[in-house]
Chain A
Amino acid sequence: MNFDFSEEQKLLQKASRDFLEANCTLARVREIFESDLPYDEALWKGAAEMGWQGAALPESVGGAGFGYLELALVAEEVGRAIAAIPFAPSVYLATEALLLADDAAINARYLPGLASGDCIGTFALAERVGQSGGSNVETALSRGKLTGRKVAVPYGDVADIAVVVAKQQGKVVPVLVELTGAGIKRHAVESFDPAVSQATIEFEAAPAKRLGKLAEGQGLIEDVRDRAAILLAFEQLGSAQRCLDIGIEFARQRYAFGRPIASFQAIKHKLADMFTAVELARSNCYYGAWALSTNSEELPVAACLARISASEAFQFCAEENLQIHGGVGFTWEYDCHLFLRRAMLQGSMLGTARDWKRALIRRLATSSVE
């Protein structure tokens, strides 16, 4: 049994954390949060210099040639820092979609930019309230033109390209669109987490290209979402762990009734419950990373496990960290709500925990995973 990251990988994680502690303090996240800036451009560039956007990409397209285990650990650190960068939509979603579709011309054109961070990618699915899967989308691809409207597109106001879930000849397919081209209207809308900008994008016969084969679109989208779910789960894991760490530190130094509040059982049990949730999520995330790195058949199930436990752990830890803070936790000035907002935003991306629970049971019924 060797169910752990290697020493080298842990060194990479340590370097990532050091970099983010120097370049992405919570004060820095707050600057983006409180400004009109869509994302932390300096950090995005710095991340590129560290090779993060291309961590799992081959050197031939400008990637760092690591692998998914390394990318997962970087994701955990990005989550720990609640960094305000389009890492998830660009790296876990757009880049993965191109890799899976495996179109040589498209990849030659876009992967180098995605790897270097010069090109920001995103992923557009939702069109209205309450849409979790892709089956009922109305945005349509016809004769190389895309028409429709997507909402809640992460970083949709600044992304250069988008992978859009659309219909073509009655089939659901992923479609690649340049967002700076003709037939695109887009505007930022108020996000639950202002550190993550979101946009509405209207496509009016925008030039677009289907990724992959017509009949395989739905499966490709599902595969992309599974892979992205594991990486996003690592972000959520990092954030949940940070909430726990902050909660512990606060509870140790805050006094009431002449004692640290950490000495009250109500608070100790709360922190113990948070720890439990984080550890379960961590183990499930590691399983996800293993599945991703080995391209295991168990990946669809592993994605559910990682995503469900990390989503729930993050939301729980964010809510209860605020509760441990008492009144100050409810103030804008304290950082508790930055995590709370991020938890709810990420919980809503890529299908909610409930969607993944339903998928898990469906998948278990048809797989041989123990």
Chain B
Amino acid sequence: MDFDDTPDEAAFRAEAVSWLEKNAELKKPGEKTAGGLERDDPDTIAAAKAWQARKADAGWACITWPKEYGGRGGTSIQNVIWGQEEGRYAVPPNMFMIGLGMAGPTLMAHATPEQQKRWLPKMIRGEEIWCQLFSEPAAGSDLANLRTSAVRDGDDWIVNGQKIWTSGAHYCDWGIVVTRTDPAVRKHAGLTYFVVDMKSPGVACRPIKQISGGANFNEVFFNDARIPDTQRISEVGNGWAVAITTLMNERSSIGGGGVGGGVGFRDLLDLASSVELDGRPAIEDGAIQEKMADYYVRQKGLQFTSNRALTALSRGETPGPGGSIGKLVAAKMRQEMAALAMELQGEVGGLLDTQLTADEAGWQQAYLWAPGMRIAGGTDEIMRNIIAERVLRLPPEPRIDKEVAFREIPTG
């Protein structure tokens, strides 16, 4: 048992490092990479596109994609190794996660060869950016409850409705969208999946301001927007199956949204060492020690859980169910750590001023992001349901909404 690369993995790592050394600068100590969600100004987007194109030319853009689609044909563990190495360099944020991580694999699995030819090459090179139009005001945890409608009209579909929480919709070129094409059948059966041109008439974005003050997400309104039938992915009524393919690929992009604040365990340790409780460093206080120890134990537990998953990947196996605990543990812990850090700052903890607070108000920012992490990509409660029902295979909740026609389901 060890953490070492296999000889093949080591060779791959060396090759990656040798390319990166020639093409990018190492990060300076302490330099942080902004998540693509936190920075989306035109300059950053241009830089991100240029970097993506450079990687694509050298075969590093999509490690796991098959060669026929322009990928490297590599393994999942190679993808992880690439990510580790690239992460050490000062490169632009990755704004292509939804395209490469979710839309691309979905198109590979369900789209026609013509559709694939139209979208995949530009996706890989970062020439076109993609967003995901799934969630709606009345369809979050219960995604299949979505009601954005698509009605056939000659060679087009006419789309009406509202999506929400669409990251990047304001600068994206294409979106993957699930619509309801038949409200008379069961909720999961009446859905159809499309690719939509975000710049087409009848598609409008409105930014959503989060509690943290930024506006990184959007509401997207469809008002008689037309989508050509040639942009339908898979059969009419097969949208849920296609959406599931997308969601199965979502795992890799969750958490990539930036956790806010740019602070971590070491910063908390430093803070606890620098402030006093009753005239002694707070870190010498038993209660603080217990909390800090708990966080570290949890954090390392998650890290080693992910090492176990990587090992499975390295062996070409499917990772075990342990991975589903990651977000549940991490999000709540983040909230607790940020709250403790604010508490340690005493009355100054109640400020957002970057000069007076510790870590330039990083913990206050982290505290304002944490609630979003407990909700995004499956709420705490939904994650527990998944662990209970899919991992532990406990009996499911009785469902009243699955077998009836969509339009008959109670909506309150």
- Interface flags, B349-362, vs A, CB<8A=1, else 0: 11111101110010
A191–B351 CB distance below 8 A: yes
Chain B residues with Cβ below 8 Å from A264 are 381, 397
B211–A330 CB distance below 8 A: yes
> What is the distance, in angstroms, from B287's C-beta to the closest C-beta of chain A?
7
A312 to B263 Cα, complex, angstroms: 24
Chain B residues with Cβ below 8 Å from A254 are 412
Given A323-B379, A327-B135, are A352 and B346 neighbors across the interface (CB < 8 Å)? yes
A130–B375 CB distance below 8 A: no
> What is the distance, in angstroms, from B12's C-beta to the closest C-beta of chain A?
39
Given A136-B276, A332-B209, A344-B339, are A126 and B410 neighbors across the interface (CB < 8 Å)? no
A200 to B356 Cα, complex, angstroms: 9
> Which residues of A from 187 to 215 have beta carbons under 8 Å from B?
189-193, 198, 200
Given A255-B412, A323-B375, A331-B208, are A348 and B342 neighbors across the interface (CB < 8 Å)? yes
A319–B371 CB distance below 8 A: yes
Chain B residues with Cβ below 8 Å from A358 are 277-278
Given A333-B209, A348-B342, A348-B349, are A326 and B412 neighbors across the interface (CB < 8 Å)? no
B381–A191 CB distance below 8 A: no
> What is the distance, in angstroms, from B2's C-beta to the closest C-beta of chain A?
40
- A-contacting 9-mer, from B136-144, B147-155, B319-327: B136-144
Q: Residue of A at shortest CB range from B384?
A: A266
Assess whether B335 is interfacial by the CB under 8 Å rule: yes
A132–B277 CB distance below 8 A: yes
Q: Residue of B at shortest CB range from A258?
A: B401
Given A329-B375, A331-B208, are A132 and B346 neighbors across the interface (CB < 8 Å)? yes
A267 to B211 Cα, complex, angstroms: 22
Q: Residue of B at shortest CB range from A325?
A: B375
Assess whether A276 is interfacial by the CB under 8 Å rule: no
Chain A residues with Cβ below 8 Å from B343 are 347-348, 352-354
> What is the distance, in angstroms, from A357's C-beta to the closest C-beta of chain B?
8
> What is the distance, in angstroms, from B401's C-beta to the closest C-beta of chain A?
3
Assess whether A25 is interfacial by the CB under 8 Å rule: no
A258–B400 CB distance below 8 A: yes
B375–A191 CB distance below 8 A: no
Given A323-B374, A327-B165, are A190 and B352 neighbors across the interface (CB < 8 Å)? yes
Chain B residues with Cβ below 8 Å from A346 are 350
Assess whether B160 is interfacial by the CB under 8 Å rule: no
Assess whether A259 is interfacial by the CB under 8 Å rule: yes
Count class of interface residues, chain B: 35 or more
B277–A354 CB distance below 8 A: yes
- Interface flags, A125-150, vs B, CB<8A=1, else 0: 11011111101100000000000000
Q: Residue of B at shortest CB range from A343?
A: B339
A345 to B385 Cα, complex, angstroms: 33
A198 to B210 Cα, complex, angstroms: 23
A228 to B22 Cα, complex, angstroms: 63
Q: Residue of B at shortest CB range from A193?
A: B350
B210–A331 CB distance below 8 A: yes
> What is the distance, in angstroms, from A17's C-beta to the closest C-beta of chain B?
26
Assess whether B367 is interfacial by the CB under 8 Å rule: yes
> Which residues of A from 78 to 134 have beta carbons under 8 Å from B?
125-126, 128-133
Cβ-neighbour of B412 out of A129, A260, A266, A355 (below 8 A): A260
A149 to B278 Cα, complex, angstroms: 21
Chain A residues with Cβ below 8 Å from B238 are none
Chain B residues with Cβ below 8 Å from A357 are 287
Assess whether A304 is interfacial by the CB under 8 Å rule: no
Assess whether A257 is interfacial by the CB under 8 Å rule: yes
Cβ-neighbour of B345 out of A189, A257, A348 (below 8 A): A348
Chain A residues with Cβ below 8 Å from B400 are 257-259
Cβ-neighbour of A190 out of B282, B287, B351, B399 (below 8 A): B351
Assess whether B347 is interfacial by the CB under 8 Å rule: yes
Tell which of B276, B279, B348, B357 has the most Cβ of chain A within 10 Å: B348
A265 to B347 Cα, complex, angstroms: 37
A337–B352 CB distance below 8 A: no
Chain A residues with Cβ below 8 Å from B98 are none
A333 to B208 Cα, complex, angstroms: 8
Q: Residue of A at shortest CB range from B404?
A: A258
Cβ-neighbour of B347 out of A258, A327, A349 (below 8 A): A349
Residues of B within 8 A of A (CB): 135, 137-138, 140-142, 145, 164-165, 208-211, 213, 271, 274-279, 282, 287, 335, 339, 342-354, 356-358, 361, 364, 367-368, 371-372, 374-376, 379-381, 384-385, 397, 399-401, 409-412
Residues of A within 8 A of B (CB): 125-126, 128-133, 135-136, 151-152, 189-193, 198, 200, 253-260, 264, 266-267, 315, 319, 322-323, 326-333, 336-337, 340, 344-349, 351-355, 357-358
Q: A129-B357, A130-B348, A136-B279 are in contact. List 16 more A-B contacts (CB 8 A).
A: A130-B271, A151-B347, A189-B356, A190-B353, A193-B350, A198-B351, A257-B400, A258-B400, A323-B371, A323-B374, A323-B380, A330-B372, A344-B350, A348-B345, A349-B347, A358-B278
Please, could you name 21 A-B residue pairs with CB atoms under 8 Å apart, sorted by A? A129-B356, A130-B271, A130-B274, A130-B282, A132-B346, A136-B279, A151-B348, A152-B356, A190-B354, A256-B141, A257-B141, A257-B142, A258-B411, A260-B412, A319-B335, A323-B379, A327-B164, A327-B376, A351-B346, A354-B277, A357-B287
